[in-house]
Structure 1
Amino acid sequence: MSVNRRRGEMAARLDGRDYRLCLTLGALAELEAAFAAENLNQLVERFGTGRLSARDMSAIIAAGLRGGGHEVSENEVRDMHCEGGAAGFARLVAELLAVTFGAEAGGETATRP
């Protein structure tokens, strides 16, 4: 699968299938609503803490999958399997946030959007 990281895309293998994930503007708007954030900076601050719940991770992955063109619900994501289990999902979320926002969303210093 070909992805363009400059456009914020990444590849992931879930349930033995390859997917493209991307936090598009629409996907980010979904996350703002889900996390009751007023703007992108609030999302970056929340994600930058590195303290995300399983529910947070499933919302982020579901939004990324939908942004990548896959029709999938959060409930479907919660039933998916990722190599490495919960740690694999955490790595996937960290990578998706890093390609979207830069290193800051993964807990490191970077320029905000």
Structure 2
Amino acid sequence: MANAYAGEVAICLDGVAHVAKLTLGALAELEAATEAGSLVEMVERFESGKVSTRDVLALIVAGLRGGGWQGSAEHLRTVEIGGGPIEAARAAAELLARAFALPGEG
């Protein structure tokens, strides 16, 4: 299962648990997908509540891919995310928080 100390978050897709993690490659993919000027801008979107569903989807896709998932945003649009949109947004925020936490903080 997901290891919070390693920055991992569990996400359930169609009843199957997956590990998501924002690796450096996943963060680069995230910046491109969201057209964010920087990761700080992405964090500020979440902190200010100005995050869009596209931002949440991009974060989930990048995190899952960082965890080894081979799917795409198109695939993610057709699966059931355990907990629905609220859980997806919580997992996306948790991915961002854990990506920038020092060991033992997140």
Query: Under TM normalisation by the shorter chain, which class is it?
Result: 0.7 to 0.9
TM norm structure 1: 0.77
Matches within 5 A, 1:92-107: 92-102=91-101
Cα separation, 2, equivalents of 1:50 and 1:101? 19
Q: Do the aligned partners of 2:34 and 2:58 also contact (CA within 8 Å) in 1?
A: no
5+ residue gaps, structure 2: 102-106
After the TM superposition, list the runs of 4 or more consecutive aligned residues in structure 1 that deviate by more than 4 angstroms: none
Q: Percent identity?
A: 50
Match of 2:46 in 1: 47
TM norm structure 2: 0.81
- Compare relative contact order (CA 8 Å, sep 6+) and give the higher one, 1 or 2: 2
5+ residue gaps, structure 1: 103-113
Deviations 1:26-80 (A, max 9, x none): 0111111122233332222233222222221111101000000010101111112
Task: Say if 2:44 is the partner of 1:57.
Answer: no
Match of 2:71 in 1: 72
Cα separation, 1, equivalents of 2:39 and 2:89? 21
What letter corresponds to residue 25 of structure 2 in structure 1? Answer: G
